[in-house]
């Protein structure tokens, strides 16, 4: 008698046998902070297109960098979907971790920055009509995620997280600045809408998003500064996140400039009156954050994904300075734009090379190892 042996593939599974999907172990520790790669890449293209000079070949380079950000966005959306599908326990743990939950704002900003880059730099590859269509889709999705994150993450922090004194950090700003990115990206898109109700409605919505993000930032930023002054420097790996404070500053200056561009003549002075003081504070914070980073580097700070904090926030300062250049025609503003863009490109290059190296070695997707003897943090309220 010959006994049939079922094959080893899925087609040979016995009837009723439970199917267990692959765990995709390489994606288990892929958190929402990885969207910072998309943001940091897209802002290089957008900021380059906003420079006040026409440099031969620059637009082609910016278009190529934007195309790279689009590919990165697509890859990460698929990877994060697989993460939620096969590692839902880890995904839920990220939401219940006060250190990881704020990074869900990065998803919104990744969608919005790639969408805005489609109009600023990608239209040379796609054509204006396709660029507007892509921007409209990504802007709509990104704004929906931004508003959701701006409400849901603070709610989780208040209800489900256990926040200890001295835990306030710049990452708290991530879900709050996302609506400001919408406010900055909306006016260029509104210019392609029909005049009248559609265009006015979008501009009014952008103004509302501007106010919501600005007031939330003004309430949160003092907590970050107070923690820095009273509890001492941030841990070495988190020190680069000090640059995240530049995000709402540069992005609000950019948004004010774009809203002024869409407003009747005469409103540009409001963008200047707002943008110049805020840019001044941004430069002050840039110097302070840089000093902390130099100290941390001397103390042995190694590479981590927090190094992407050097890219998108600085890029928003570039677009903010470019906006001031348009509205003042001052050479000092143009010079500031050039210097900040050089810093942005250098930071992006370092972060990109080190990230690729970490991916090849597997170090960046490995399970985090807590320090020996360190207590396991409590992340959920017990009352």
pLDDT in tens, 244-267: 999 999 999 999 999 999 988 888
Contact 170, 221 (CB under 8 A): no
Please give the pLDDT value at position 4. 46
Please give the pLDDT value at position 77. 96
Residue entry with tokens 């994904």: 305
pTM: 0.89
Rounded mean pLDDT, 230-246: 94
Please give the pLDDT value at position 383. 40
Domains of the chain: 28-361 (1.50.10.150)
Please give the pLDDT value at position 363. 87
Contact 109, 312 (CB under 8 A): yes
**Which pair of tokens denotes residue 75?**
């890859």
Is residue 103's pLDDT more than 80? yes
SS (H, E, C) the chain: CCCCCCCCCHHHCCCCCCCCCCCCHHHCCCCHHHHHHHHHHHHHHHHHHHCCCCCCCHHHHHHHHHHHHHHHHHHHHHHHHHHHHHCHHHHHHHHCCCCCHHHHHHHHHHHHHHHHHHHHHHHHHHCHHHHHHHHHHHHHHHHHHHHHHHHHHHHHHHHCCCCCCCCCCHHHHHHHHHHHHHHHHHHHHHCCCCCCHHHHHHHHHHHHHHHHHHHHHHHHHHHHHHHHHHHCCCCHHHHHHHHHHHHHHHHHHHHHHHHHHHCCCCCHHHHHHHHHHHHHHHHHHHHHHHHHHHHHHHCCCCCCHHHHHHCHHHHHHHHHHHHHHHHHCCHHHHHHHHHHHHHHHHHHHHHHHHHHHHHHHCCCCCCCCCCCCCCCCCCCCCC
Q: How confident is the model at residue 99 (pLDDT cuts 50, 70, 90)?
A: confident
65-93 pLDDT, tens digit per residue, is 999 999 999 999 999 999 899 988 888 88
**Which pair of tokens denotes residue 20?**
């267990």
Is residue 288's pLDDT more than 60? yes
Q: How confident is the model at residue 365 (pLDDT cuts 50, 70, 90)?
A: confident
Please give the pLDDT value at position 7. 46
Portion of the chain with pLDDT greater than 70, in percent: 89
Q: How confident is the model at residue 24 (pLDDT cuts 50, 70, 90)?
A: low
Is residue 211's pLDDT more than 60? yes
**Which pair of tokens denotes residue 241?**
């996140």
Query: Rounded to an integer, what distance in angstroms lies between the CA atom of residue 237 and that of residue 127?
Result: 42
Mean pLDDT of the chain: 89
Q: How confident is the model at residue 367 (pLDDT cuts 50, 70, 90)?
A: confident
Contact 27, 82 (CB under 8 A): yes
Please give the pLDDT value at position 381. 43
**Which pair of tokens denotes residue 250?**
């540069």
Is residue 113's pLDDT more than 90? yes
The CA distances from residue 245 to 13, 66, 223, 225, in Å, are: 55, 24, 12, 10
25-60 pLDDT, tens digit per residue, is 678 889 999 999 999 999 999 999 999 988 889 999
């Amino acid at each position: 008698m010959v006994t049939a042996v079922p094959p080893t593939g899925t087609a040979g599974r016995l009837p009723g046998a439970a199917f267990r999907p692959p765990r995709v172990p390489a994606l288990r520790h892929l958190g929402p902070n990885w969207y910072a790669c998309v943001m940091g890449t897209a802002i290089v293209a957008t900021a380059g297109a906003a420079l006040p000079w026409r440099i031969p070949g620059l637009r082609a380079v910016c278009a190529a960098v934007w195309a790279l950000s689009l590919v990165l966005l697509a890859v990460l959306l698929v990877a994060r979907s697989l993460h939620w599908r096969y590692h839902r326990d880890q995904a839920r743990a990220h939401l219940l971790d006060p250190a990881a939950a704020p990074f869900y704002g990065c998803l919104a900003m990744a969608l919005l920055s790639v969408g805005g880059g489609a109009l600023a730099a990608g239209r040379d590859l796609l054509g204006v009509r396709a660029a507007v269509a892509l921007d409209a889709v990504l802007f709509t999705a990104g704004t929906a995620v931004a508003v959701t994150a701006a409400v849901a993450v603070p709610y989780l922090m208040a209800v489900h997280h256990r926040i200890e004194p001295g835990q306030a950090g710049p990452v708290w700003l991530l879900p709050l600045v996302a609506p400001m990115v919408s406010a900055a990206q909306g006016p260029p898109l509104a210019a392609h809408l029909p005049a009248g109700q559609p265009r006015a409605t979008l501009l009014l919505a952008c103004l509302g998003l501007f106010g919501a993000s600005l007031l939330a930032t003004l309430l949160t930023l003092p907590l970050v500064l107070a923690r820095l002054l009273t509890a001492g420097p941030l841990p070495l790996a988190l020190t680069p996140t000090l640059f995240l404070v530049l995000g709402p500053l540069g992005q609000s200056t950019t948004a004010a400039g774009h809203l002024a561009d869409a407003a009747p003549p005469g409103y540009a002075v409001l963008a200047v009156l707002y943008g110049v003081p805020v840019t001044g504070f941004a430069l002050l914070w840039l110097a302070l954050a840089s000093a902390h980073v130099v100290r941390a580097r001397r103390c042995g700070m190694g590479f981590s994904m927090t190094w992407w904090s050097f890219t998108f926030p600085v890029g928003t300062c570039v677009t903010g300075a470019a906006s001031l250049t348009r509205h003042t025609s001052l050479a000092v503003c143009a010079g500031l734009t050039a210097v900040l863009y050089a810093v942005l490109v250098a930071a992006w290059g370092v972060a990109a090379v080190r990230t690729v190296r970490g991916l090849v070695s597997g170090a960046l997707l490995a399970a985090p190892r807590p320090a020996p003897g360190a207590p396991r943090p409590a992340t959920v309220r017990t009352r």
